[in-house]
Amino acid sequence: PKSSPSKFLKTRKELHKADENFASNAARTNSVTVYLGFNQTTIPEDEPDFTAAVSYLAHYLQNNGNGKVEFIASASSLPTSKFRSNESLAAERLKALEAALERGLSAQGLDINKISTIERKSIVSGPSYSQNSTLRKSDFIEFQYIRIIIN
């Protein structure tokens, strides 16, 4: 059975430990993670987590002139039904992340080319999937994400 969007959002909020200090937490760790749904490649550009990521990156670029940034897009090992493979799902998420960040930075008057070095990684992560596994779908949700790391 499909999980309801509100149930999923609650799970994502729990994963983020969503609180009012999300952006300041990002500043302490130099990274922002946004969790996605299974098979989701659309980046939730209007959600607070993503807008905090764009704001954090924009603030960093405005204060430092340029920077080295790592973009990571992950898919779990749970087989995808909408893509050729989990690797191709992660690769599509990576393309979508970069395009969304470019739009977000542009809206703040910044060019993504201010980032001096961009390291891109699309990965399949999490527990190994097998059909006779005791793992449930919920065991894989935390491996459906995009992450921005400023080095």
Q: Give residue-wise pLDDT tens across range 87-125.
A: 999 999 999 999 999 999 999 898 888 888 889 999 999
The DSSP code for 131 is: T
Binning pLDDT at 50, 70 and 90, where does residue 49 land?
A: confident
- With H, G, I as helix, E, B as strand and everything else as coil, classify residue 124: strand
The phi, psi pair for 131, rounded to 5°, reads -65, -25
| Cβ neighbours, 10 Å, residue 71 | 20
Indicate the helix (H) or strand (E) that contains 116: strand 115-125
